Every structure is written in C-alpha cells, then in structure tokens.
C-alpha cells in the first residue's frame, strides 16, 4: 500500500498496521452525514464569506483567477479572542514517554461523538510540492469555522485536477494520508488550554479547543515532517533560498523560530547583487540521498507586525487573522496591522509575493545558518566541526515570540533552547541530530550561527545580517579566530567588536555554553532519555567551554 492508493476492498484487514485507535477515530469522522466536502477554493471562499464574525474587506485579492477564486474576491478577516498564538502546552504526542494513549483516545472518541451533532466541512490538500516528496492531507472543521478551512486550502495546495496529476507522478511512500479533525468549541475541565493529540506513526491528529489557525498549519506540518523523516528526508522548520552567481549557485537554509528574522532573511531578494530563487520561509524537507529540497506549502503564513498598509507586500494578502479593521477616507474597509489590536497578527500571503519563487531545488544545500538571539555571540560565527555544528543546532538559543501562547508569568526575553528551531518534532531528538550531522559531515555543508538579537548592547539590524550573508555568498567574508575557541571563527563587522580580554564577556560566553551543556544533560535523563544526544555532541561543546578557562 502506498500513499497513492486506498486499501483494497478485499483485504482491508491486511492494512491494520496503518491504523491505531486515534487514526480510526479521526478518519471515520470524515465520512459522517454531517460533513460536507469542499472541493474547490471558490466554494471555500463562498462559505468563509458567510461564516460568523468574518469581515469581507474592500481589499481585492491579487491573482484571484490564478488561485481559483472569483475575480471580485476580497481579503477576509477573522479574529480570535484572548489566545492569538500556538499553545504548546496543549500538545500530546502518542508514543512519547508519559503519554496515556488509552485515556487520550477515549477523550478523542467522546469529542468526535459530540461533534456529530453539528455540521462540519472537510477539505483535501497536498503537502509537498515536488515529485520528490508529496503527501495528501485531509482536514475537517465545524462549518462556523469555514474561514479556517478556506485559509488552510490557501496555505497548502488544494487538490485540484492539476495538483492531482502532479501528485500521482510523485514518489510512492509506504504511508496513508494525513487526517486532522478540529473542533475549536470543545471544552474539558481537565484541559483548560485545549488539547492537540498527535499520532505521527499513523498520520492522524485531533485538535480540540484551539481556535488559532496556526494550530492547523503546524499540526499538519507535524505529521508531514514525521512522514518525511521516516522516508529518507530531513525535516526542516526554516527558510531556504538560492543565490544565482556567475560561477554557479549558492543555496542556503536558515533555521529559526517565528520572530527570529527567518522570513526576512529568506524573502529579501538581494536583486542588486544576485538574482535569488526562494523555496519557502517556513517549511521544507531535504532529501538525505541527494541534498535536494522541496517546499511543503505554496503560500506564506506571515506576521503583519512589520507591514503598514503602505507596504507593497500587503497587496498579496489573502486572509488575515487577529488584526483590526477600519474605514479609509473613501469609506472602504481596510486593515489595521502592525499588532495594534494584539500581538501576532497574521496573514496568509500568496506565492505571488515572491516572483522568484520555486517549489523544488535539485542543487544540494551549501550552507546551514542557525538563527539565534544569544547576546554572547557576535552577529556571524562560522562553525567548522560537524559534531559542534550539529550540537549548536540541537541547542539553538533564542527567545519566545508572540506567535506562542504562553503563561503570563513566562518572560519572553528569557533565552530558551529549541532544538533545530522545531518545537513540532515528534520523534527522538537524537535522530534529528544525526540527520544534521550527516549533512555537515557527509555532504560537506558549511555551518554558520546568526545572532539576530543584541551583541555587547548593540542591536544586530536586519541589514547587518543580510550584508553579512551577501559577503559569505561573495566569498569576501573575512573570518577571524573566535578567541581561543576551537573550530569557531567570527566575521568582523563594524560596531560589533569581540574582546576576549574582557573577563565579563568571557564569563557570559562560558555561561551560555554551560547552559547548553545543562540542557543536554537534562535531556539525557528526562522522559527515559527520549531526547538523549550522542556523546559526541556534549564532548564538542565541552571542548569549546574548556578553552575559555585554559
């Protein structure tokens, strides 16, 4: 059985390995007589326009006909209440230590039963936009949340006849489709923050009590990345673009959490120096055998914080979430962006915002950039040892952004470690470490750390980062030894002096390295060592830390 054929009628029981209690519960719900399938983007738009609370603005959708929308389609707005970001505390991964599978599947059955008393909509998309990697995904949501379904069908590739033909030509995978059930109105006294249950081995999820659209997007990617990981790909929460030099290409991948500068780094054109091709700014996979990359989504789910309505990028908004609406001087409904209403205002932008957009790159990645907000690091550091490069990825230090719904007592300025900038991983951390180590060791990819926060009290501006990347692409970047630290060099930039004679700076850098080592030690003991890393990762960081006290 492959992902391109359903089970043979005569032998469904032979496919039992593709099912679990949660998978059977979720997929079965799609076939209820309370579920209406939405098969075109135009039909989804018509339903979304009539959904409760949706605002039809007077902003036209650009490239409407190419997207399958009516020529007079307008940008839609839908706003949530108190929660306007992802709720990590709601996630439960079946198969991970400490997760009560029997209890969770019982809750899922009851939630689905309760849902049979109201009308749902379902949609069908493809995740993965090349013959190298593509899987089908199905989503069902209550009819009152039609805008979330419409947004989902815009964010991923809706299953059109053309998309179906391309999908049929893609690599067969020993997997079933992805199935996601969502009911934002669900409530349970034991789960006041909602509940998102994932069964990544069986490609199923149920997302309960969570309104934010990002839960649906990242929930789908959680399953897709797990599928890719099982089938010979490196799962990547990052941005990817390729520079077109006269002597060839330079392909780079940048990994960072929302708000780290990942989208800015990926989508900035550098057209004055090099033409670029953009793969995506959030989700892709790398083929372990060839190094080729595939985008998982055609559209971009982007913050509106940095987009005043005078910005030309706003012309490519399709749907918008958690922003204000006002009337312009002609009495037309327009947007109030820049996070005035709340943090983490969001939009789905069409692929047409990047005319240099591609869905697949056959050239292997030349360099991986870990994006951090660690004030102990200068703006650009080159890491020249594969074990150390992978260890820094596994201990990527950054700050929480407004894209995440966290407790009020959580300090968003506090440094946290998020391995490989991917809080959506659903398999042991050591497997990701090995994947990236192999990219550095066997495929010879270079590794850089980009600090996009502050260094020595000085803010690293986007222009500083972008100019530094361009110098790396040029081959003109002059790296210096990073003090006594082995296998590390830094790019000397104006206003960002590195002074190892400063004892306070050395102490800060040592503290940051110790924080990483503590993180790895904790991961080795928590949850039966589910996230234990190879000893080489710890040894690589210990060697660097020791150099600071010699």
Torsion of Cα atoms, 196 then 200 then 202 then 208, to 10°: 10
Beta strand ranges found along 400-487 (DSSP E): 415-417, 446-451, 454-455, 458-459, 479-481
Q: Are strands 300-303 and 120-127 parallel, antiparallel or unpaired?
A: unpaired
| Percent over 90 (pLDDT), the chain | 86
The pLDDT value recorded for residue 272 is: 72
The pLDDT value recorded for residue 15 is: 57
Measured distance CA(146)–CA(125) in Å, rounded: 16
Extents of the domains making up the chain: 16-50+87-231, 233-286+365-544
**Contact indicator for 50, 147 with CB cutoff of 8 Å:** no
Measured distance CA(412)–CA(415) in Å, rounded: 8
The pLDDT value recorded for residue 358 is: 97
Decide which of 3.40.449.10, 3.40.50.12780, 3.65.10.10, 3.40.50.980 is the CATH code for 16-50+87-231: 3.40.449.10
Q: Are strands 380-383 and 333-336 parallel, antiparallel or unpaired?
A: unpaired
Q: Are strands 324-327 and 284-287 parallel, antiparallel or unpaired?
A: unpaired
18 pLDDT band (50/70/90 cuts)?
Answer: confident
Query: 10 Å Cβ neighbour count for 497?
Result: 12
Ramachandran bin of 210, using left for φ above 0, alpha for ψ from -120 to 50, beta for the remaining angles: beta
* C-alpha radius of gyration, the chain, whole number: 23
The DSSP H or E segment spanning 241 is: strand 238-245
* 214: exposed, middle or buried (Cβ count in 10 Å: 0-12, 13-18, 19+): buried
pLDDT at 9 over 80: no
The pLDDT value recorded for residue 5 is: 53
**Contact indicator for 75, 67 with CB cutoff of 8 Å:** no
pLDDT at 405 over 70: no
Helix axes 146-155 and 213-230, enclosed angle (nearest 10) = 40
CATH architecture of 233-286+365-544: Alpha-Beta Complex (3.90)
Q: Which of 272-276, 415-419, 545-549 has the lowest mean pLDDT?
A: 272-276
Cα maximum dimension of the chain = 75
Q: Which of 11-15, 181-185, 475-479 has the lowest mean pLDDT?
A: 11-15
**Contact indicator for 265, 469 with CB cutoff of 8 Å:** yes
**Contact indicator for 88, 423 with CB cutoff of 8 Å:** yes
Token digits for 3? 């992902």
- Compute the average pLDDT of residues 62-81: 98
Measured distance CA(459)–CA(446) in Å, rounded: 25
Helix axes 429-441 and 386-394, enclosed angle (nearest 10) = 150
For 502-535, how does the pLDDT look when each residue is reduced to its tens digit (9 = 90+)? 999 999 999 999 999 999 998 887 767 788 999 9
- Compute the average pLDDT of residues 473-497: 95
Q: Which of 24-38, 165-179, 252-266, 420-434 has the lowest mean pLDDT?
A: 252-266
* 68: exposed, middle or buried (Cβ count in 10 Å: 0-12, 13-18, 19+): middle
Q: Which of 132-136, 199-203, 264-268 has the lowest mean pLDDT?
A: 264-268
- Compute the average pLDDT of residues 398-425: 71
The pLDDT value recorded for residue 526 is: 73
Cα atoms in the Cβ-side hemisphere of radius 13 Å centred on 266: 33
The pLDDT value recorded for residue 268 is: 87
* 352: exposed, middle or buried (Cβ count in 10 Å: 0-12, 13-18, 19+): middle
Would you call 157 helix, strand, or coil by DSSP?
strand
The pLDDT value recorded for residue 412 is: 47
Mean pLDDT across the chain: 93
Measured distance CA(437)–CA(216) in Å, rounded: 30
The pLDDT value recorded for residue 452 is: 95
How far the first Cα of the chain sits from its last, in Å, is 59
Measured distance CA(339)–CA(329) in Å, rounded: 22
Measured distance CA(446)–CA(397) in Å, rounded: 19
- Compute the average pLDDT of residues 218-232: 98
- Compute the average pLDDT of residues 232-257: 95
**How many residues does the structure list for the chain?**
550
Cβ neighbours of residue 249 closer than 8 Å, sequence gap 6 or more: 242, 243, 363, 366
The DSSP H or E segment spanning 372 is: strand 367-372
The pLDDT value recorded for residue 407 is: 54
User: Residue written as tokens 């790909």?
Assistant: 233
The pLDDT value recorded for residue 2 is: 46
- Compute the average pLDDT of residues 105-118: 98
Nearest to 184 by CA among 225, 222, 140: 140
């Amino acid at each position: 059985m492959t992902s391109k054929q359903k089970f043979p009628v005569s032998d469904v029981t032979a496919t039992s390995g593709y099912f679990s209690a949660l998978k059977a519960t979720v997929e079965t719900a799609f076939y209820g007589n309370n579920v209406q399938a939405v098969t075109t983007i135009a039909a989804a738009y018509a339903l979304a326009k009539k959904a409760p609370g949706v605002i039809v603005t007077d902003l036209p959708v650009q490239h409407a006909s190419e997207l399958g929308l009516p020529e007079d389609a307008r940008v839609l707005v839908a706003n949530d209440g108190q929660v306007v970001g992802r709720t990590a505390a709601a996630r439960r991964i079946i198969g991970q230590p400490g997760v009560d599978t029997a209890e969770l599947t019982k809750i899922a059955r009851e939630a689905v039963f309760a849902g049979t008393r109201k009308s749902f909509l379902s949609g069908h998309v493809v995740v993965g936009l090349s013959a190298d990697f593509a899987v089908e995904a199905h989503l069902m949501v209550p009819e009152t949340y039609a805008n979330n379904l419409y947004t989902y069908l815009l964010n991923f590739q809706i299953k059109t006849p053309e998309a179906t033909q391309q999908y049929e030509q893609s690599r067969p995978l020993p997997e079933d489709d992805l199935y996601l059930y969502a009911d934002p109105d669900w409530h349970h006294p034991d789960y006041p923050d909602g509940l998102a249950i994932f069964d990544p081995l069986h490609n199923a999820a149920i997302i309960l009590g969570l309104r934010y659209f990002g839960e649906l997007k990242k929930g789908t990617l959680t399953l897709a990345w797990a599928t890719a990981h099982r089938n010979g790909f490196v799962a990547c929460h990052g941005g990817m673009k390729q520079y077109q030099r006269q002597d060839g290409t330079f392909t780079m991948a940048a990994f960072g959490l929302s708000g780290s500068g990942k989208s800015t780094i990926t989508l900035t054109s550098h057209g004055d120096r090099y033409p670029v091709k953009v793969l995506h700014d959030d989700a892709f996979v790398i083929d372990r055998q060839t190094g080729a990359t595939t985008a998982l989504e055609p559209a971009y789910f982007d913050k509106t914080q940095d987009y005043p309505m005078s910005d030309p990028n706003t012309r490519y908004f399709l749907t918008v979430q958690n922003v204000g609406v006002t009337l312009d001087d002609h009495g037309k409904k327009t947007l109030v962006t820049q996070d005035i209403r709340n943090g983490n205002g969001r939009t789905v932008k069409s692929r047409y915002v990047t005319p240099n957009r591609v869905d697949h790159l056959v050239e292997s990645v030349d360099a991986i950039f870990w994006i951090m907000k660690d004030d102990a690091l200068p703006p650009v550091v080159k890491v020249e040892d594969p074990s150390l490069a992978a260890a820094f990825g596994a201990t990527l230090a950054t700050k929480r952004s407004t894209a995440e719904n966290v407790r009020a007592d959580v300090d968003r300025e506090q440094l946290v470690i998020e391995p490989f900038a991917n809080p959506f991983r659903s398999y042991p951390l050591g497997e990701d470490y090995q994947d990236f180590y192999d990219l550095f060791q066997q495929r010879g990819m270079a590794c850089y750390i980009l600090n996009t926060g502050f260094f020595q009290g000085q803010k690293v501006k986007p222009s500083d980062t972008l100019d530094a990347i361009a110098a790396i692409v040029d081959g003109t970047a002059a790296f210096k030894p990073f003090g006594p630290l082995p296998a590390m060099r830094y790019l000397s930039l104006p206003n960002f002096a590195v002074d190892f004679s400063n004892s306070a700076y050395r102490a800060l850098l040592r503290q940051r390295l110790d924080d990483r080592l503590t993180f790895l030690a904790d991961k080795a003991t928590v949850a039966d060592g589910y996230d234990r890393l190879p000893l080489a990762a710890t040894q690589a960081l210990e060697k660097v830390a020791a150099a600071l006290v010699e």
